Amino acid sequence: MDETGSPENFTRMGTLGIEEEFYVVDARGRPTSGTDELVYEGEPPELLRERLDHELFKCVIETQTPLIEGPDSAREQLLAVREALAEYAASEGFGIAAAGLHPLAKWRELDHAEKPRYRAQLDRIQYPQHRNTTAGLHVHVGVDDPDKAVWVANELRWHVPVMLALSANSPYWNGFDTGLQSARAKIFEALPNTGIPTRFADYAAFERFERRMVEHGSIDDRGELWFDVRPHSGHGTVEVRAPDGQADPDRVLAFVEYVHALVEDLAARYEDGESGTELRRELLDENKWRAMRHGQSASLLSRSGDDTLSLAEIVAAEADRLGVDGIRTLFEAESGAERQRRLRTDAGVQALAESLAIEY
């Protein structure tokens, strides 16, 4: 990976890319080491070649879709990648599961990857990275101008807690109930360079920050800026990294639809010369806390910071404003966190583990 990206990469508007982090599981649905076999030793199907990688733990694997020209093609591409991964994993004796945190994962009992990149992170970050068994959903949308991408990413920051609240799917950490709806978000933000970033004035300001972090040894490359939303200077996209992992592809596609609509809307507003919002990061952090703690029952501070809105009000307004239906369907359904708690209480941990198998 290049240490830093380039403004020249921002060339196309509205393309999509979807990255999903999954858990490699054994026959009982428990996380197990499997990325050596799947990433390095096996022969992935053609669709997954160059689009399959692992994360810090040997039980977490990541897929990337091919470049998607627009939202109409997203479903086909997402399902094809999921099917290819599930069938490939099964041929090697593994299953694939999805959640923000696997409820039965105990980090002290799981193996870290041996890749030098991750070994360097473990050495530099220590305890917070040693326990980082998280898995998320990342959505990229192409933007055709670097300054526009930074402006759009700035404005998307208010929407991060909305997406987190709707995606909350990780109530259990290290085997116990945290009382949170998304414990993944809290575990992950213990790492450096995470959370909701501050506002950048333009691409030059972001580029200076990115390079400074590399030159001062804070990060090894641009990929270690793990903010919830960021201009991706390598792909020429705006990347949203807020949602928990999801087993149901329809839930993933609801976020893809929402993120794409938001980026297109904000890009048009940038072109019209609209001024950006100035909401303090501390207030955005408060909204994120409310989202991870309360999920779908959260009330969030408005864009002005002067009042609060229920998630129901926000979803209704956003769905109508942008002409999207997926987030409304997400809100009306049982959340991932609620479903996990219900299954564990009513049917036990085995049923809970089985419920996380990915669908396609």
Residue range 118-154, pLDDT digits in tens:
999 999 999 999 999 999 999 999 999 999 999 999 9
Amino acid in position 136:
G
Instruction: Give the percent of the chain with pLDDT over 90.
Output: 97
Q: Which numeric CATH code is attached to 7-355?
A: 3.30.590.20
Average pLDDT over residues 77-98: 98
pLDDT higher than threshold 80 for residue 350: yes
Q: What value does the mean pLDDT take over residues 29-39?
A: 97
278 pLDDT higher than 90: no
**CA 199 centroid distance within chain:** 20
303 Cβ contact list (under 8 Å, min separation 6): 158, 277, 279
pLDDT of residue 6: 94
Contacts for 41 with CB less than 8 Å, ≥ 6 apart? none
Higher pLDDT among residues 305 and 337, named by residue: 337
HSE-up (13 A, CA, CB side) for residue 148: 25
Q: Is the pLDDT of residue 1 over 80?
A: no
- Residue 252, pLDDT > 80, answer yes
Shortest CA distance to 152 belongs to which of 231, 210, 225? 231
Count, in order, helices (H) and strands (E) of the chain. Answer: 14, 13
Task: Identify the pLDDT of residue 5.
Answer: 83
Pairing of the two strands 194-195 and 226-227 = parallel
**Above 90 in pLDDT, residue 64?**
yes
DSSP state of 40: I
Confidence band (pLDDT; 50, 70, 90) for 4? confident
pTM here is: 0.97
At residue 172, the pLDDT reads 98
Instruction: Locate 163 and state its tokens.
Output: 């997406």
Neighbours of 164 (CB within 10 A): 27
Instruction: Check if the beta carbon of residue 244 is closer than 8 Å to that of residue 137.
Output: yes
**Do the beta carbons of residue 249 and residue 78 sit within 8 Å?**
yes
Measured distance between the N- and C-terminal CA atoms of the chain, rounded to whole angstroms = 31
Q: What is the pLDDT of residue 97?
A: 98
**Chain mean position to CA 274:** 28
Q: Please name the residues in contact with 49: beta carbons below 8 A apart, sequence gap of 6 or more.
A: none
